[in-house]
Amino acid sequence: MDIINKFSGAFWSTHIWLPPNTTWADIAPGSRPDVVHADYRHLIWPIPLAAVVMLVRYTLERFWISPVGKSLGIRSSRPKKAANVPALESAYAKSTRLDHKCLAPLAKQADMSERQIERWWRLRRAQDKPSTLVKFCENTWRCIYYLYSFIFGVIVLWDKPWFWDVKSCWYGYPHQSVSNDIWWYYMISMSFYWSLTATQFFDVKRKDFWQMFIHHMVTLLLMSLSWVCNLHRVGSLVLVVHDCADIFLEAAKLTKYANYQKVCDAIFAIFTVVWIVTRLGFYPRIIYSSSVEAPRILPMFPAYYIFNTLLLMLLVLHVIWTYMILKIVVDSLQKGLMSGDIRSSDSEDVTDSSENVRVANGGSTRSKSKAAAAAAAAAAAAGGAAGSGGVTQRKVNNHNTAEGTAATAK
């Protein structure tokens, strides 16, 4: 027990997390009559709120989104199941990708031809994928959440001085009051990520399962630290800046699933513009304030350098993702390859067998399927925006789902 107490005391050292001559008692709730400090004990609230978020999601998907999707003609059926072949199931459990070097031994073991095994493997892979309706429901739910989060964030921050002047994030720090609307903004945002963490174990399991799980946990950790350190002002700014583009990315995906290709392309074009404006326009303004203006206003401390480094890392990722998006858009326009897969949320949607790619793209060639796969990778990476001041790596790991097309940081 003494070891735990010593480790906790060393980890939460005021010399690391707080400005000079400031203690945890100085920013504890009730320490000053004129300031309502953030209460670390309130970080328990997002967990029960996550249950409410999951209930809202289930209700919307079951009674509204799914019926709407079916009325639009979105396919809810899944491919027929592959035959139960224990030898092949065992090999599939080890790796979902068929190693052609193992075809001959598998054929002998399962008493099947190599062609039959390849067909079985395609069916088995397709069996693990969610139906188009399931993906439509998931993307619609996320689009609704990001739309709500952005609108609510703007409403909450509209009358806040730091929304119009970023330097106000640093005035009076760490003695900055947390208003009720900021409290709800933070708590609901955290509850959303707690809900994603929980529903991952019940949703269709994708190949980036553990990457996304780690991403959600890192997100929650950084949001919690920013709350404990009273960095909610810059955190709320980063949140609202990043939610905006996600709305259009999710909207582009769901319109593609609904077969509204022209609408999809138009929304994706809007997404590209909004992405550039928010991620390379507004966000760098926050970076400038945290890197140049903040040191002029308040004394520096180790936690400041930690958070600001994360902000800078995220900016570098934004530049990389923007380059990928623009390169793919230009290539697609030049070659006429603006295929539906560019908005796919899952890279595995476009990395299946050539047969599945031809079906999806109306007989496209191998080069087209590679272009679509790269496009899907960038779209998945683009979806990985960060989320708050201590939340600066909200999607830092998200681009790992793009099968190595982006650097390791979603």
Q: Does 222 or 288 have the greater pLDDT score?
A: 288
Nearest to 350, CA basis, from 207, 144, 174: 207
Q: For residue 81, is pLDDT > 80? A: no
pLDDT tens track for 160-191:
999 999 999 999 999 999 999 999 999 999 99
**pLDDT-derived band at 406, boundaries 50, 70, 90:** very low
Does residue 147 lie in a domain region? Answer: yes
Does residue 10 lie in a domain region? Answer: no
Q: How far is it, in rounded angstroms, from Cα 57 to Cα 196? A: 11
- Determine the structural domain holding residue 123 and report its residue range: 86-127
pLDDT at 85: 80
Same domain, residue pair 165 and 117: no
> Which runs of consecutive H residues, i.e. helices, occur in 229-301?
232-257, 261-277, 283-288, 294-297
Same domain, residue pair 342 and 380: yes
Same domain, residue pair 110 and 211: no
Report how far Cα 343 is from the mean position of its chain's Cα atoms: 14
**pLDDT-derived band at 370, boundaries 50, 70, 90:** very low
Same domain, residue pair 109 and 188: no
- Label residue 47 exposed, middle or buried (CB < 10 Å: 0-12, 13-18, 19+): middle
Q: For the chain, what is the domain count?
A: 2
- From residue 144, alpha-carbon distances to 82, 139, 177, 248, 291 in Å are 35, 9, 30, 11, 34
CATH classification of the domain holding 115: 1.10.10
Torsion (CA) 244, 276, 251, 312 in degrees, nearest 10: -60
pLDDT at 403: 33
pLDDT at 394: 40
Same domain, residue pair 331 and 258: yes
**If you search the block for the tokens 């609408």, which residue do you land on?**
263
pLDDT tens track for 295-346:
999 999 999 998 998 889 889 989 998 998 898 788 877 776 444 444 344 4
Same domain, residue pair 239 and 285: yes
Q: For residue 386, is pLDDT > 50? A: no
Summary mean pLDDT of the chain: 79
Same domain, residue pair 282 and 349: yes
Q: How far is it, in rounded angstroms, from Cα 51 to Cα 26? A: 34
Does residue 46 lie in a domain region? Answer: yes
pLDDT tens track for 204-215:
666 667 777 887
Same domain, residue pair 207 and 305: yes
What pTM, to 2 d.p., does this model score? Answer: 0.76
pLDDT at 78: 66
Share of the chain above pLDDT 70, in %: 80
Q: For residue 408, is pLDDT > 60? A: no
Average pLDDT of the segment spanning 282-294: 95
pLDDT at 389: 40
Sequence-distant (6+) residues with CB within 8 A of 165 are none
